[in-house]
Amino acid sequence: MTEQSRQPVSQARRWVIKLGSSLVTNQGRGVDAQAVALFAAQMAALRDRGHQVVLVSSGAIAEGMKRLGWTQRPHEIHDLQAAAAVGQMGLAQAYEVGFAAHGLKTAQVLLTHEDVADRRRYLNARATLNTLLGLGVIPIVNENDTVVTDEIKLGDNDTLGALVTNLLEADLLVILTDQPGLYTADPRKTTSATLISQARATDSTLAAMAGGAGSSIGTGGMATKVRAAQRAARSGADTIIASGHETDVLSRLAAGEALGTWLTADLPVMTARQQWLADHLSLRGRLMLDEGATKVLLTGGKSLLPIGVTEVSGEFERGDVVACCDPSGQEIARGLVNYSANESRRILGKPSSQIEAVLGFVEEPELIHRDNLVLISSGENR
């Protein structure tokens, strides 16, 4: 965790920048047009330096709360959806004005987990974002809170930022927050806590160091930012967690200045299809594996056969994404299953040669083919 030059940041062509709610809503008082204008100016400067910029911005619900006269964040999903619908208007308008001052056009892109989980919609979202970037437009991405439900909710914009990073195979994810970065302990509780300047994204000790949410306005804390960095590392992207209150923070980062916490990607880069599989947040079921199947998946690069499965949980159909877990219950892989949950239960523990005798038909000899399976790093602490 030693400090060193951030000069490689200047070489990152495509940036995904996530702004926390407190930074753009004046601690929840409503959209801060002056703050938005300052961030827009910095991103315009990045564009002038040859970087592409995608913005993931929180703040719609906070702005909606202000417009509706609410002083506390509601808990009911329909109230949250109403606040998001109202607030999205003000948030989009502020960004439109802020970027227009620099001759830049913006586009609003609202996503849900279903847009990421469905392969066709995933590819459509990627194509749209790439087209916008090619046209010189600044995409402003947010979760579609007006229609989302708990079952399809991404959860927080740190996660959304990482998913967009993978979707676009961006070079860098910058998470701007109201904290200077990641500390060795919660600095609000431990006076001896020190700022971590640099670490590997998959360092297993990071999760223990991350605290909870810093304010009542946002939904994410340092733990979600660490998980976002681990997720972004799958596509080879580094992550920087830094304070958005730092003057010209984006321009200084682009110049190589060591601000915040730099979490470096140290995972083998996944293919686009592998990233799509890995980025599923809502899995349909779980397959428990024996020691032999676990070893084969982790070291042999093989398909998962029914003989190595000891238990099936959940209800899923052929083609759904399911988790593969070692005997201790730790997820080690996930993939597209070739048989339904009911069919999988009937053939678990049996050799592939008996599938037809048990089911009366055979789709594939594998429960999950190696081409439709991706390993999940244990460093993510799922």
The overall average pLDDT reported for the chain is 86
Does residue 56 carry a pLDDT above 70?
A: yes
Last residue of a domain, one of 211, 243, 272: 272
Q: In angstroms, rounded to a whole number, what is the distance separating the alpha carbons of residues 37 and 100?
A: 10
> Do 288 and 220 fall within a single domain?
no
Residue 125 covered by a domain: yes
Residue 277 covered by a domain: no
Does residue 4 carry a pLDDT above 70?
A: no
Cα four-point dihedral sign 22, 27, 33, 39: negative
Q: What is the pLDDT of residues 170-209, one digit of tens each?
A: 999 999 998 899 998 877 788 888 999 999 988 878 877 7
Q: How many domains does the chain have?
A: 2
Last residue of a domain, one of 253, 272, 291: 272
Domain that holds residue 367: 283-380
Q: In angstroms, rounded to a whole number, what is the distance separating the alpha carbons of residues 355 and 374?
A: 24
Does residue 1 carry a pLDDT above 60?
A: no
Cα 49 to chain centroid, rounded: 26
Last residue of a domain, one of 211, 244, 272: 272
Residue 261 covered by a domain: yes
Q: Provide the pLDDT for residue 76.
A: 85
Single-letter code of the amino acid located at 224: T
- The CATH number of whichever domain residue 336 belongs to comes to 2.30.130.10
What is the average pLDDT across 294-311?
92
Q: pLDDT-derived band of residue 336, with 50, 70 and 90 as boundaries?
A: very high
Q: What percent of the chain has pLDDT over 70?
A: 91
329-349 CB burial, b ≥16 within 10 A, e <16 = eebbbbbbbbbbbebbeebbe
What are the CB-based long-range contacts (under 8 Å, 24+) for 317-320?
Answer: 317/284, 317/341, 318/363, 320/284, 320/285
The pTM of this model reads 0.80
Residues near 222 by beta carbon (within 8 Å), at least 6 away in sequence: 179, 182, 209, 210, 211, 212, 214, 241
- The CATH number of whichever domain residue 268 belongs to comes to 3.40.1160.10
Q: pLDDT-derived band of residue 253, with 50, 70 and 90 as boundaries?
A: very high
The closest alpha carbon to 128, from 114, 109, 146, belongs to 109
Residue 278 covered by a domain: no
Q: Provide the pLDDT for residue 381.
A: 36
Q: pLDDT-derived band of residue 84, with 50, 70 and 90 as boundaries?
A: confident
